[in-house]
Amino acid sequence: MAGGIGIVRSAFCMLHFAFRISSAMITPTHYMLLSAALFIIGVAGVLMRRNIIIIFMSIELILNAVNINLVAFSMQLQNGIGQVFAIFVIAVAAAEAAVGLGIILAFYRNKETVNIDEMNLMRW
């Protein structure tokens, strides 16, 4: 366990050193603006689209926006916990994609559509 933390800490130190060397500093505000833009695009995709594949991709954008914030604040606070949480979010996103695409594939075989308006299989 301690070896894994040491590897994360050394990688974190190398990233921090690389950012200090660069001439134009990227501040946490830049990361937050990028994350907000990704989050807004993802929410708009979930609310406006009717294709379930596009909706799943929009959810992945939202999760990636969260990951950017976690890593940015982890870097600002000099703590690796945010990076560990980001790895957990990536694992949850992979599981969500696998299960979601399996459900979509099964539904498509029955109904031959991926339009969210026609997915009323679970209704009474």
Whether 63 and 89 have beta carbons less than 8 Å apart is answered as: yes
Q: To the nearest 10°, report the CA torsion of 50, 96, 70, 26.
A: -60
Question: Tens digits of per-residue pLDDT, 45-86?
Answer: 999 988 888 999 999 999 999 999 999 999 888 888 989 999
- Please list, in sequence order, all residues whose beta carbon lies within 8 angstroms of the beta carbon of residue 30, skipping any fewer than 6 positions away: none
Q: Which pLDDT band, with edges at 50, 70 and 90, does 12 fall under?
A: low
Quote the pLDDT of residue 37: 95
Domains of the chain (ranges plus CATH)? 27-118 (1.10.287.3510)
Q: What are phi and psi of 115, to 5 degrees?
A: -80, 130
More confident residue, 9 or 23: 9
Has residue 20 got a pLDDT over 80? no
